[in-house]
Amino acid sequence: MATTTQETTQLGPQAGYRSLNQEIAVDAIEVEGNLPSWLSGSLLRNGPGLYEAGDRSVNHWFDGQAMLHRFTLADGGVSYANRFLQTKSYQAMRAGKPALSEFATDPCRSIFKRLMTVFDPQVTDNSAVSLATLGDRHYAMTEAPISVQFDPHTLETLGVSDRYPGTFATAHPHRDPDNGALINVATRMGPRNSYRFFVHAPGQRPRVLATKGVSRPGYVHSFAMSQRYIALTEFPFTVNSIEIPLSGRPFIENFRWHPERATRILVFDRHTGKKIGTYETEAGFAFHHVGAWDEDGRLVMEYCDHGSPEIIDAFYIERLRRARAGDFRPQPRLRRVVVDLDQRTTSTEYRSQEVIELPRINEQSYLRPYRFVYGLGTTAENNYDTADRLVKIDNESGDAAVWHEPAAYVGEPVFVPSPESNAEDDGVILSVVLDAGRDRSYLLALDARSMTELARAYAPHVIPFGFHGQFYPET
């Protein structure tokens, strides 16, 4: 229910950046409103749950230890459970002795140990970013060369994946719709750097599909894939990798922004690995691609462009917990880049003026053109770096529909299609929301067409702000 008092509108999102030490399972939580009768399955979410090691805190939002959350919906009711991933990184944090390098937090190590990481990187197994399935296995993922397997029903940690062919890999693999394999890109750092596209099929070890040497690797969080192509978007935010162990700085603080350089797009045939070409477009920076498709000899791709990597500095945990308005406000917008593969040219435009991040589409439009993009946005009155509204962008007109409520801070929207319709926006949007006024989180269900509320289900506590999730229908 919306609250409109002046006091409530001043409440900020600080509670969403607290550690959550409680692990629980609740068979039935309070539901307001009516969930569709066809909506049956589990929304699994991944994100940070623990920020402290003894009397020290990690530096960055991205460095909190992974916690899984499960909302199971059936017959109009909702159950809830949460549980930490039992990783080496988590166990070290609990013992007050963090030992592995995170995104922006690095343990104190001797120069000898730092030099050795050039050849044997000791990166984190803290898989706190996203979720993926490979065959009948469920994995939590981050930008590490492994993923952590878990049981989707109990949230119990089960083990790790085969090692990927690189020092780091994206947390956003693509799924081959023909065979269920995961296609991803890893960055290998050392005396010789390279990008490596690889395929991980169920029951098999990862196989390198294509390799491209690079002198100064870029920061790669996601990439584009269409029916025919895979494309790495190398924004001009790059690193001299040999300096990482010598600098004494955490991983991401070694990267440098070069706005005078273009963004490079490296395109390969996704079936054969053959290099198609390298193309250039405007300098920018993005975490997340939305989608891509083939169109008359062209590759069309879209991503949420922040313009620069300044967004990374906005997410240092001390700043987020202070929740002060700063000079910088994240303003990512939906950018389309069209690559003419034969003419070797590109064109680009913003599809909407709306702020949007953590984009999702109806997955029935995967690898094809889509009309609607759902994501997070911010109101003009929002003084924080935390999103406070859900946005639906019409990719044809640029118009947007939104859901917003005072003192409500939203999580990634996940689209669940209705089984009774083929319309692209016929379904439900699920998002985990912090109600700052009640110091409590809830699962929000919206009608995906109108962006109006259907129901909300209150969790027993505040759920720390997370990143990505998936909905798994009951079968």
Residue 386 pLDDT > 70? yes
SS3 label, residue 165:
coil
Residue 381 pLDDT > 90? no
DSSP designation for 261: S
The phi and psi torsions of 339 (rounded to 5 degrees) equal: -105, 115
Instruction: Let me know: does 91 contact 109? Beta carbons within 8 Å.
Output: no
Q: What is the pLDDT at residue 324?
A: 60
**Separation CA 80–CA 26 (nearest Å):** 5
Q: What is the pLDDT at residue 2?
A: 33
Q: Give the CATH number of domain 6-473.
A: 2.130.10
The domains of the chain are located at 6-473
Q: What is the dihedral of CA 298, 300, 306, 308, to 10 degrees?
A: -20
Q: Which of 62, 71, 129, 122 is nearest to 92 (CA)?
A: 122
Instruction: Let me know: does 264 contact 247? Beta carbons within 8 Å.
Output: no
pLDDT-derived band at 113 (thresholds 50, 70, 90) equals very low
Q: Which of 130, 158, 318, 344 is nearest to 221 (CA)?
A: 130
**Separation CA 286–CA 235 (nearest Å):** 8
Question: Sign of the CA dihedral 162, 165, 169, 174?
Answer: negative
**Separation CA 253–CA 370 (nearest Å):** 36
Contacts of 451 (CB under 8 A, 6+ apart): 390, 392, 401, 402, 403, 429
pLDDT tens for 323-346 read 665 556 779 999 999 999 999 999
Q: In the numeric block, which tokens belong to residue 262?
A: 């273009």
pLDDT-derived band at 1 (thresholds 50, 70, 90) equals very low
Mean pLDDT score of the chain: 91
Q: In the numeric block, which tokens belong to residue 227?
A: 């029916």
